[in-house]
A and B are shown apart, each in its own frame.
Chain A
Amino acid sequence: MLEIFQHHFVIKAILAGVVVGFLGGFYGNFVVQRKMSFLGDGLAHVTFGGIALGLLLQFEPFLVALPFTLFVAIALTYLKERTTLEIDTTIGIFFAISVALGILFITLNKRYISDAFSYLFGSILLVSDKDLLISYFFGLATILLAIIFWKRWTYATFDYELAMVDRINVRFDDYLLSVLIALSIVISVKLVGIFLVASFLVIPPAAAKLLSKTFAQMTILSIILGIISSILGIIISILWDLPTGSTIILLQSIIFLFAFAVKQLR
């Protein structure tokens, strides 16, 4: 078994899995606790629309997907603040528009159909050094921002009004969190594909929530579960020649079921 670690691509895949597990595990706490679980899925599909536009314009797909996704994340926060629409509703609207645009763009330039669909499932075993570097840089930025903002985001997650009364600039914090979640989704889509991103943002935090008495515990546990499921999923998929993305998601699901069983037994 140990010989698989001699392959450079395995080490890079594990490094990618660790950072995606960390990002999903961290930001997912706020996504799950703020009842925005659809956000990960929605923004990942918005990224798909941006990628398809990039392919059509024959431009680096992620350089198009990034502003596209950031714009939608900011628009979602703005609409939540200014209208009576629930965020799941607005996500649903942008989700549908983005997928429709994505399919339209791909159809306009059929040469890139296979390229576009490769982004759906990702290619964690084919991660480039540059992508890995960018993702670790963002991971480091997340750690630094967490030191300042975790206590503020958590307070506003618990009670928006109390945080406002205590003079926290909740509007700024909300926009910042949305932008960071969007960035983590774009970076993660590049590493692990659209389908896998949403599960990283939802399943580890949901399992952690079942086992935690405090939000701090939930945050730590969610990150640990995200990272462990990545590493184990990659190793198992290589050893047994299984699709990596599916293996990671199924492993996370088993962890979730285990957490649920433990919760029931307590």
Chain B
Amino acid sequence: MNEIAINVDSLTVFYGKYCVIRDITFSINKNEFVTIVGPNGGGKTTLLKAILGLVEPTNGKVEVFSKPPKELDFHEIGYVPQIKNLDRTFPAKVIELVATGLTGKWKFVITKEIRNLALEALAKTGIENLAERPLTKLSGGELQRVYLARSIIRKPKLLILDEPATGIDSVAEVDFSKILEEQQKMFNTTILMVTHDWEYAFHHSNKVILLNKRLIAFDSPKKAFTEENLKKTFGHIGHEHTMQFIIDKNA
């Protein structure tokens, strides 16, 4: 029997009077790669935040490795946030941010041991040479890799990524996927990723969550990406997506 990594049961979240997600239930097994797809304002980030323990459910419950998220040790979850939230004026070097992945705090001095582990993590994401670079001087793609290095340095049991492909070119994206797959194989990491990229979700994930305030589908990509489900999720299927959808159907 598969062990459960994330259990979401009848989850409803209100912000004030506004319902962001309503009555969502699903379970993700350990070592699965699950993507969340849905329109803007569909509750994707709120769902991630509820799983991270940042948002309290209004109704229902969330358990990660059979515990409420807030009771988890911080090392168990690796989180790659949207890079648009970064304070671009903060004086810091790449290595310092990666080190927070291990320490869970912003250290005044980085020890040699932590530095070596941070360099190792940066090497895995292919940017060891940027260790001493100020964060303010990084491109979007480089910054994503820094955050990825920061999250894999702690060898998390669960890796959560919020739209990591934004700002990454297609060549880098392939590389990014490879790192995630390696992580999954080597450490049995469960991966949960919000993405706008249907193609990516179709080809790389074990399961897809289609979300538009309610859970539209939670299934394998082939079963989840049906025309009906996509219509329910996005209201309409745009031109580009229609073509993609036909390819998917024949796949």
Contact = CB atoms under 8 A, between A and B. Distances in A.
Contacts of A212: 91
B218 interface: no
A157 B74 CA distance: 19
Contact of B85 (A152, A155, A159, A217): A159
A94 interface: no
Interface in A204-226: 209, 212-219
A215 B92 contact: yes
B54 interface: yes
Interface string B73-106: 1100101010001110111110011001001111
A166 B100 CA distance: 9
B104 A164 contact: no
Contacts of A150: 106, 108
Interface in B122-155: 134
Given A162-B81, A166-B74, A33 B108 contact: no
Chain B interface, DSSP helix/strand/loop, else mixed: loop
A158 B100 CA distance: 11
A215 B90 CA distance: 7
B74 A155 contact: no
A217 B90 contact: no
A130 interface: no
Chain A interface, DSSP helix/strand/loop, else mixed: helix
Contacts of A214: 91-93, 96
A217 B91 contact: yes
Interface residues of B, number: 28
B172 to A, nearest CB: 23
Q: Which of B79, B81, B100, B105 has the most CB of A within 10 A?
A: B105
B87 A158 contact: yes
A205 to B, nearest CB: 11
Contacts of A217: 91
A99 interface: no
B79 A162 contact: yes
B1 interface: no
B180 interface: no
Contact of B90 (A152, A158, A161, A216): A158
Contacts of B74: 165-167
A157 B54 contact: no
A213 B54 contact: no
B109 A216 contact: yes
Interface in A120-177: 150-152, 154-155, 157-159, 161-162, 164-168
Interface of A: 33, 150-152, 154-155, 157-159, 161-162, 164-168, 209, 212-219
Given A151-B105, A161-B81, A214-B93, 12 more contacts: A33-B89, A152-B105, A152-B106, A158-B90, A158-B97, A159-B81, A162-B100, A165-B79, A166-B100, A166-B105, A167-B70, A217-B91
